[in-house]
Structure 1
Amino acid sequence: MKDLLGLMGKAKEMQAKFQAMQEEIAALEATGQSGGGLVKVTLTGKFEMTKLEIDPSLLKSDEAEILEDLVLAAHNDAKGKVEAAMQEKTKELTAGLPIPPGMKLPF
């Protein structure tokens, strides 16, 4: 019976830690860039774009396709950074837990 109570206590503790981690991740910001810094995109931990910076030299009507590609590349760069930060925070929280490989947390 003690083991069950201990397990329940650990489950509540993990739930609180996951809640705190989710709040921490939501507060994250990552900036991705492309074109050598000519285009920059800032995303939150919820993958919401909060900022877009475009160098004025790219604002030419005949270069719209290039600009579109650079914005997409900067967005993907920022998204990759947010995902890496989320993975690192999850790894820190679940260190030592017997979680099967490939299982993604938080659910």
Structure 2
Amino acid sequence: MKSMEEMIKAAQQAAETIQKQMTETQGKLDAIEVEGKAGGGLVTIRCTAKGRVIAVTLDDSLMQASEKQMAEDLIAAAFNDARAKADQVSNEEMARVQGGLGLPPGFKIPGLG
């Protein structure tokens, strides 16, 4: 049987491994891009799986003063679409890492979220 000291050391090493893998996954999420669209593609927003907006693209037809309100609404809709996709990718990546570590789904590691 292992001593208490050996078990504590093993637990600390496991925690360090988990911390490293979670940090790596968080970095990976900022490199994964998703795209949200609204208005049949009139507005497109690209963002990372962490939700950082990279680009907003507006169709030229929305550049009229009479279309201002529609453009604003479509930008919000496209952002929400991109954010939902980013959340989905993020959740899938975190579940994959946690599953590989034998952690229960939704387990929160202090300091990582």
TM-score by length of 2: 0.82
1:38 equivalent in alignment to 2:42: yes
Deviation at 1:8, TM superposition (A): 1.3
* SS of alignment partner, residue 81 of structure 2: helix
Unaligned runs of 5+ in 1: none
SS in 1 for 2:103: coil
Whole-Å separation in 2 of the counterparts to 1:13 and 1:104 = 15
Cα-Cα RMSD: 1.7
Look at both structures and tell me which one has the larger radius of gyration over its CA atoms.
2
- Work out the CA distance in 1 between the residues paired with 2:104 and 2:67: 52
Q: Does 1:12 align with 2:12?
A: no
The gaps in structure 2 that reach 5 residues or longer are none
* Shift in alpha-carbon separation, 1:12–1:76, aligned structure 2, 3 A: same
Give me the whole-angstrom Cα distance separating, in 2, the residues matched to 1:33 and 1:74: 5
In structure 2, the partner of 1:97 is 103
Residue 97 of structure 1 aligns to which amino acid in structure 2? L
Q: Give 1:43 deviation, angstroms.
A: 1.2
Identity of aligned residues (%): 30
